[in-house]
Structure 1
Amino acid sequence: MRLRGRVLMALYYTAAPERGRIWKSMIANALPDLEVRLAPEIGDPADIRFLAAWTLPPGLIETLPNLEVLFSLGAGVDQLDLSQVPDHVTIVRLIEPNLADGMAEYVAMMVLALHRDLYAYADRQRQRLWQPLPQVPARDRRVGVAGLGEMGRAALAALRPFGFALSGWSRSPRDLPGVTCFHGPDGLRDFAAQTDILVNLLPLTPETRRILGAELFGRMPRDAAIVSAGRGGHLDAPALVAALDSGQLSRAILDVTPVEPLPTDDPLWTHPRIVVTPHVAAATDIDGSGKAVIANLRRHLAGEPMVGIVERDRGY
């Protein structure tokens, strides 16, 4: 499609149809010179300067000669095959406040449930045991968050008012008020050794794949617990079961699993010390995510840096 002799500027959207229809209306109101095309109606591929996708249909990017920006429709990009994306195309992950707020709520809920022994009391209820457990003050409970991006920082902010001893781990050095920060491989060992409840919010990269495994579990204090809401690929499931069965870990809460949906015959469903939720810790808000993409489009068109640009060598 042409407009007054020039190539029309267009965004091609390939994900959930309902969100696509809403975004098309939002973008039309905010950026009337930008046309949104919903898959499979691509029109002239030469018009496409922006692509919004969850995953990449094979061969699609090769047909888009003028593509400038790929918007990932997730907080991470591990679901995308970045090798398909030419170097000149900027990759942007989704950053929107409602996503971080939802994750903070989930983490606070699960950490408090573990801290106050909710699941242990649920076990006793099924056994009809009126049996109080020793109550640990929050200041004596060491909670660590692995992954100090936007979601990790939001989770720590939500936990701070309860008075937990907070720590965090990331690949590179960070400095957060009220948080003991660790970084790098050596820092990970020290971080694990002093963490009673470990919350995983890491991006999935080759370095972090199966990081929740026997080595990390073995360095944690005996009877520690984990909350994993990053990516399913972080988990070595057999190592988790072994750590729980040996008593090295007391409990695990999994919002993400190595295979999703989790197969009905998977032993993670029935392990007495595992709680599974179906990847619901933080749901993308259609309106909020649309506004975030529009804000980044405006930045790009104005020649300003976008928020959430992915560093390919780091994978996030």
Structure 2
Amino acid sequence: MIRVLFAAGDEAWDSYALPLKAAFAAEGLTADLSRDHAPTVVDYIVFAPDGPVRDFAAFVNTRAVLGLWAGVETVVGNATLTQPLARMVDDGLTQGMVEWVTGHVLRHHLGMDTHLAGQDGTWRVGVYPPLARDRPVTVLGLGALGSACAQALAGLGFPVAGWARRPRRVPGVARHAGADGLQRALQGAQVVVTLLPRTPATENVLNGETLGWLAPGAFVVNPGRGALIDDVALLAALDSGQVGAATLDVFRMEPLPPSHPYWTHPRVTVTPHVAAATRPDSAARVIAANIARDQRGAPLLHLVDRAAGY
């Protein structure tokens, strides 16, 4: 019998309890899933940063902490967390992100807002977008989500460049890496999608200088992390026309305060952190499969590099 502590909120328990139990059974695991195990008997923790566990020191026999979220920036620096930490990499989460990103990139590319806002009886002829092959896109971040989005956009015909802190190979995507590669990746881009993790090295990666490297009137699409963008610089770039529009799903403070200028800016679309949700059924299968690997003596998947922060 393995004991699994579910360390997330009440609402999450209602969504995850049955899928996790079914996934454990499908993997042949005899598991006692509970929210009330004593720390010293816990073998694995299913964890969300908004759950009740903040101090991991008492979990002396815990083999791994398995995150329900893709992001780990709020826990990776926790000094009490000495157990292996696995982040969520889930095909449902990835597919949701691909759909959101391609939808908003195509919305900006096709100029759909012009027609949606202009239902006033005016026949607007001569307003055509370029073909996708003539609209360069840059994806910042080539992890599981970034790579999937970059390949989906390349499949639609966009010339896609990708940038990561470390070199990564993504078929069909021009690769750039490191500080020197950032300018090459952004220079002349007409669309930028930000899917980097939040680390000290990525904070404000889009700022006054880097936004100036984009093609005039470029579109910014951010489903990654709010801190990737210097908000003051983005608002200035929108006002000057250097950035033509921005769709933002993540923010430094969430919910975004009603007084924030993003809400009323005519060229900003705010979505409430909905670009990619973790689906309980598919996420439960990921967690159960990872525990089963560990029980067989195989290495855990999706382990977080503490030094890198993701």
TM (normalized to structure 2)?
0.92
Would you say the 8 A contact 2:43–2:61 is kept in 1?
yes
Give the 5 Å matches for 1:100-249.
Answer: 100-125=94-119, 130-249=124-243
Give the 5 Å matches for 1:39-78.
Answer: 41-42=36-37, 44-55=38-49, 57=52, 59-78=54-73
**How far 1:20 sits from its partner (Å)?**
3.6
2:28 is aligned with 1:34: no
Which residue, out of 7, 12, 19, partners 1:14?
7
Deviates more, 1:169-178 or 1:101-110: 169-178
**How far 1:183 sits from its partner (Å)?**
0.5
Would you say the 8 A contact 1:105–1:158 is kept in 2?
no
**How far 1:213 sits from its partner (Å)?**
1.8
* Cα deviation digits, residues 30-62 of structure 1 (max 9, x gap): 444321112xx22x3211121111116465312
* Cα deviation digits, residues 193-230 of structure 1 (max 9, x gap): 13110011111111111222212111212111110000
Task: For residue 206 of structure 1, give the secondary structure of its aligned residue in structure 2.
Answer: coil
2:21 is aligned with 1:25: yes
Would you say the 8 A contact 1:243–1:249 is kept in 2?
yes
* Cα deviation digits, residues 41-89 of structure 1 (max 9, x gap): 22x32111211111164653122111221111111211325323443x1
Structure 2 distance, partners of 1:193, 1:103, is 25
Instruction: Give 2:279's aligned residue.
Output: 285
Letter in 1 for 2:22: M
Structure 2 distance, partners of 1:258, 1:127, is 40
**How far 1:28 sits from its partner (Å)?**
5.0
Once superposed, what is the RMSD of the aligned Cα atoms? 1.9
Would you say the 8 A contact 1:54–1:80 is kept in 2?
no
Give the 5 Å matches for 1:265-280.
Answer: 265-280=259-274
Task: For residue 66 of structure 2, give the secondary structure of its aligned residue in structure 1.
Answer: strand
Would you say the 8 A contact 1:143–1:198 is kept in 2?
yes
CA gap of 1:187–1:32, structure 2 versus 1, over 3 A, is closer
* Cα deviation digits, residues 206-263 of structure 1 (max 9, x gap): 1111222212111212111110000122122111111100111000010111211111
Structure 1 distance, partners of 2:105, 2:166, is 25
Structure 2 distance, partners of 1:190, 1:122, is 34
* Cα deviation digits, residues 4-44 of structure 1 (max 9, x gap): xxxx6311111122134224522552444321112xx22x3
Can you give the 5+ residue segments of structure 2 that lack an aligned partner in the other structure?
A: none
TM (normalized to structure 1)?
0.90
Letter in 2 for 1:29: A
Question: Percent of counterpart pairs with the same letter?
Answer: 34
Letter in 2 for 1:67: T
Give the 5 Å matches for 1:78-89.
Answer: 78-87=73-82, 89=83
Letter in 1 for 2:33: V
* Cα deviation digits, residues 152-211 of structure 1 (max 9, x gap): 111122212321111100111122222111111110011111311001111111111122
CA gap of 1:243–1:126, structure 2 versus 1, over 3 A, is farther
CA gap of 1:128–1:266, structure 2 versus 1, over 3 A, is farther
Q: How many residues align?
A: 305
Instruction: Give 1:305's aligned residue.
Output: 299
Would you say the 8 A contact 2:151–2:173 is kept in 1?
no
Q: RCO higher in 1 or 2 (8 Å CA, sep ≥ 6)?
A: 2
**How far 1:303 sits from its partner (Å)?**
1.1
Would you say the 8 A contact 1:244–1:273 is kept in 2?
yes
Instruction: Give 1:3's aligned residue.
Output: none
CA gap of 1:305–1:126, structure 2 versus 1, over 3 A, is farther
Would you say the 8 A contact 1:54–1:79 is kept in 2?
no
